[in-house]
Every structure is written in structure tokens, then in C-alpha cells.
Amino acid sequence: MGLIAAIIGLGLVGLCLRTVPTVLMETNLVGGIAGPLTGIPASPPRTAAPAAPTPSMSIDPTTETNPSAEPAKLQAKRKAKSLQKVEVPASGPGTYHAADKSVRPTTAAGSLIRYDVRVEKGLSIDPDKAAILIQGILDDKRSWRSTGHWRFELAPVGGPATLHAYIVTPETTDRLCAPYLTRGEVSCQNGNRVVLNAKRWLLGVDSYGSDLTNYRRYLVNHEFGHALGKHHVDCPGPGRLAPVMMQQTKGLGACRKNPWPQATED
């Protein structure tokens, strides 16, 4: 019995000796894991993965936080891009591109007035197209020719002409209109010159909004009206059509816009 007990005792000691290394290795493993958790590296630090970038101030927060707004923003950007800003130089060389077109009036009634057209160099205005447009306005049945007193003929520059129409920069407008004070903003008729300010021709005015077509009609009829001896008049009453010789460039008052001398009330 004593021999058997001794053998069993020796076996238990062997088992304990084999168990100790296992426990030590597990302790070392725990230490390796615990290092980074306590801020003490157990091995050389690895390069940290880059953090997700923070949106910069140049990124629209609406786009970042509300993806559903992106189509509307893109549409707005396209719309803004399509509205190209027209730039009008403040001054020019004082030399001109001449319109070469010749267009006769469509009526035989009234005194014939020949005129030609010049556009100052440096402006993005085709002189022949501008001249054709002006003739179309003056020869319209709602314009001055409908009175039966006058008719207009577009003549090429260099030929016989009673009037000379100019589309020019604001500074040249001031020079050609002196001593009238146009201050780079408005147009004038001065002697045999009808001077149309390119700033108004290209940009229009607030009183006509985006209706550049009718503003150009008004501008031509108003300044040529001065050449016919017509003077400024006031608004005839609230809601009425503004007379063409009213200074509609400066505002409409209580009147409604009207580009024609012979317009009829609705």
C-alpha cells in the first residue's frame, strides 16, 4: 500500500510540473494583450489607418448632410451657369464699325428720313444686325411712320443720311451727348446724332425687367422721337400706358410700360 501511494504521489508531481509552463505562457499572452489596452505598447506601433476626412468649409453643408438636395443644387448651378453675365466696357476707342445694310421703308406716306448706324469698336454688337433691328422698329406700323408724317430708310454709312445713329460705350455716350448730362447711364439725341448707350442696349433697365426686346423698341422710338421734335411728357394716370416720350428708362411711376408711339390701351 505504501509503495502504491508513493507511485501515485510521484505521478501527481509530474502532472503539476507539466502544467506550470502552460500557465506561464498564458500569463505572457495576457501581458501582450494588456499592453496596448493600458497605453504601453507591447510591440512597435503600427501606422494607424487614416481617419475619415472632415468636410472642409468649402463643401456645402447641405450637400453633405442632405443628399436628397443634390439634384436641386445641380439644377440651380446649371441655371446660374446658363445666365451668362453681359459685360459692357465703360469706355471705347471712339472709332466705329459701320453698318453696310440698306433697307427702304414699306410705306410711301410721309417725309423720308435717311439714317445710318455705327457701333463703337470693342462692343459685342453686330452693326448690321443692330441696324436691321432699328429699321424694323421704325418701320413698324405702331411706330412713328403710322402718323403718316415720316418714314425712315436705313442707308449704308458713307451715303446720304439726315441722321446718324450710334451704339456706343457709356463714356463715348457722354462725349457725343455733351452738353447734355447722360452720366454714362442714359441715351440722347444731339443735333443729327441719335446716341444709344450700349449699357442700356445690352442690359435694359429695371422698369422693363427681362423684357429687353421691348426696351430696345422703346429706346429707339424715344430717341428718334426727339429727332422728330418730340419732348418729354409725364405719366397720364395710374394704370395707363406710358407715352413713348415719357422717360421710362428712369421708371414708370403709376404707368405701364409701352415701347410704341401709337400703342392703344387694352
Provide CB contacts within 8 A for 139, sequence distance 6+.
103, 105, 106, 107, 145, 151, 152
CB 169 within 8 A of CB 154: no
In the DSSP assignment, the letter for residue 257 is -
Topology of domain 96-250, CATH: Collagenase (Catalytic Domain) (3.40.390)
The structural domains of the chain, with segments of one domain joined by +, span 96-250
pLDDT given at position 264: 74
CB 210 within 8 A of CB 219: no
Distance in angstroms (rounded) separating the CA atoms of residues 125 and 95: 14
Q: How far is CA 250 from CA 59, 153, 191, in A?
A: 42, 30, 23
List beta partners, residue 117: 165
List beta partners, residue 80: none
Dump pLDDT digits (tens) for 183-224: 999 999 999 999 999 999 999 999 999 999 999 999 999 999
CB 128 within 8 A of CB 174: no
Dump pLDDT digits (tens) for 23-56: 333 333 333 333 333 333 333 444 444 444 333 3
**C-alpha grid cell for residue 178?**
455733351
The DSSP string of 184-250 is TT--EEETTEEEEEHHHHHH--GGGTT-HHHHHHHHHHHHHHHHTT-------STTSBPPTTS-GGG
pLDDT given at position 2: 52
The helix or strand, by DSSP H or E, that contains position 166, with its residue range, turns out to be strand 163-168
Per-block mean pLDDT, blocks of 10 residues, the chain (266 long): 48 41 34 33 40 34 37 44 72 98 96 98 98 98 95 96 98 98 98 98 97 98 98 97 98 98 78
